Structures are given as structure tokens and as C-alpha cells.
Amino acid sequence: MAGGKKRKRPLAEGMAKPPKRVRRRPAPPPSPRTVRRAAWLVGSVPVLMVGLLAVATNPDYQVLCMIPAFLALSAGIIGMGLIRPKGWVILLAVLFGVLLMVLPTTSIRAQLMAHRAVETEVVITDAHKAKDRSGRVSWTCDIRRTDGQPLPHGQVGGFGCSGRSDIGDTMNVLVDPAGWAPPVSTEEDLDFLGTGVYVTAVLAALWGLLTLAATRRTLRETAAAGGARGRKA
């Protein structure tokens, strides 16, 4: 019949009727108590990371400490997503977290060497070449003290180590008398590298402020949504 309502074509014999799509309800927002607990844990992440990376200034513990520091950062970013799952908060957390992974070990090591290192004569015993992804070549030299005393972490890179032609040469390096930090060249700018300690402190404070701001905004929105539901009821 023209202009009439179209009838659905019946299913062929033996064919099952497709199930209706079930609309998934959005997950309920976390409770204020959960948000506050997550905020305390997320806010403590920089302290844990810096502590682990400070121990990583000793090459013997570097890998052992870098792994839990990375896991702590990952947990902090996930927790930040729980506190504030939208907006620019996650991007800032990732930026601050990456910088907190990079800076502490180098800057704390530079501060240690700047305050207690002793200039010591060493001889180069071997040289090792490494190439990064961009094709840039760098060298690391094995060294030993010329006076025969033991030298923990007997390697130095960067300035003063340019290839296998340096083997047998003597030079002066800065050595940590306690043997905790590895030797560095006397040409390293330790004052500049050491300023990373202050940058690390600023980043940790910014992480804490970001956590606080995200927590307060989420709690304010949750309270406003609860009040709106109460008025409707």
C-alpha cells in the first residue's frame, strides 16, 4: 500500500534474531575518600623517586634503583589519572615525571663530586666505543691510579677520552675518596650540572601543587554534582 508503514522483512527460517546492543553506563566517578587517598599517594611519588635516584648515583645500584623509580612514576601518572581523568593534568604529570627521572642522578652526583672530589693522576688502560641512534660516537676509558691504589668504578667518559690512541696516557681526574660516585674529568662543569638539584626541587614542588589543584577541582565538581542530584530528587 502506497504511503503505508513499511513492514520489516521476516527473518529466514533457522536464523536467530540478533541481540540488542546494551548501552554501557559510564563508570561512576571515584568517591571523595578515594580521591583523597590517591592524592596522598601521588603526592609522595617525587620523594620516592628522588630517594631512589639519589642511591643510583653509585653505578653499582643504578639499574637496581632506576626500575622501581620508573614504576613509581608510572603509578603516579595512573593515580593522577584517577584523580583528574580529563584535561591537561596528565600531560603536565608526564612532563614533570620525565624530568624527575632524568635530572636527579646526574645533578646529585655532580654536587657530591664538587664538594668532596680529589684530583688524582690515573693512566688509561683501555677504551670502548659506543654509537647512539643518531650515529654519534662516544668513548669510555678504563683507568687505574698511577700510585697503585684501588680505584672503584674505574671508568671515565666524555672529556679526556677520545679513542684507543689515548691508551697508556696519564691524566688527572676527580675521584670520590669514599668510592661512591664514579670518577669524572677535571674539565666537567660540575657547577652547571649541580644546578639540576634546584630544578629537581622545583619540579617536585610543581608535582605537589599539580596534585593539590587536581584534587581540589575534582572534589569541588563531585560536591556540585551531588548537590544537583539532591535538588532533582
Q: Where are the domains of the chain?
A: 32-113+193-228, 118-175
- Assess contact for 140 and 147: CB atoms under 8 A: no
Q: What is the DSSP string of 31-51?
A: PHHHHHHHHHHHHTHHHHHHH
178-200 pLDDT, tens digit per residue, is: 999 999 988 888 989 899 999 99
In order of 21, 43, 82, the CA distances from 24 in angstroms are: 9, 33, 20
80-118 pLDDT, tens digit per residue, is: 999 988 778 999 999 999 999 999 999 999 999 999 999
Q: Residue 120: beta bridge partners? A: 173
Task: With a cut of 60, say whether residue 34 has pLDDT above it.
Answer: yes
State pTM to two decimals: 0.79
